[in-house]
Amino acid sequence: MLDDVVPSVWPSGNVLAIHTQSTNWFQPSGSIDGPPIVDWKSTHPLLRFVNFDNVQVAKALAAKPPGRG
């Protein structure tokens, strides 16, 4: 999870980036108002006691991940 940080190298694996500043890690393709959280890995050690049922995201950046068309 990246929260208001800009690492010099993009981490390998899945990343949740919050309040990420402009970078060259991904290609922005617009924004999404009120995107739903539809699924998360509830058995993952970092998320097993986290419940996103009542989390609301006001706005998100639509982006293409690095290395994916």
pLDDT digits (tens, 9 = 90+) for 8-59: 777 777 777 777 766 666 777 888 999 999 888 899 898 899 999 999 999 9
Q: Quickly count: other Cβ atoms within 10 Å of residue 34's Cβ.
A: 9
Determine the residue type at 63. Answer: A
Q: What is the DSSP letter of 55?
A: -
Checking if the pLDDT of 7 tops 90, the result is: no
- Terminal Cα distance for the chain, rounded: 23
